[in-house]
Amino acid sequence: MSHRNGCALRRRYGHADTRAPFRSFEEASAERDRLEQEVSTTGSVMATFPQGAMGLIPDHVKATLAWREANARFRRAFKALQDFNIVFTRVFAKELRAQRDARRGGK
């Protein structure tokens, strides 16, 4: 990740020291759930397009406006989730570790 991308992330999701714009782990978790749902929804739309014998999308399908728009929506949603997770895992590392430990039976 370049320095420029890191600055954009801090502007969008807040600096790791301030936890802005999320005031709590619960708010950030809700945002993560929303982004994951968006990726899932757009991925489902992508799965409706026909695939060839080896599972690849044929070129004549990729040339359609519908596929290009769906692909662009999926890529934007996935990139937003990726960018969010970069900041989320750094800012809320302790909370995520505690949540993971609790799910595994605690330490």
Summarised one tens digit per residue, pLDDT across range 56-87 is 999 999 999 999 999 999 999 999 999 999 98
Going 40 to 45 to 47 to 52, the CA torsion angle's sign is negative
Question: Is position 61 within any domain?
Answer: yes
106 in a structural domain: no
pLDDT at 40: 97
Assess if residue 107 is contained within a domain.
Answer: no
* Section 88-95 average pLDDT: 90
Domain that holds residue 61: 3-94
Residues 6+ apart with CB under 8 A from 51: 57, 58
Tens digits of residue pLDDT in 12-30? 655 444 445 677 889 999 9
Dihedral angle of Cα 25, 74, 37, 11, to the nearest 10 degrees: 20
The residue ranking higher by pLDDT, 94 or 22, is: 94
For tokens 């026909």, the residue is 50
Total domains present in the chain: 1
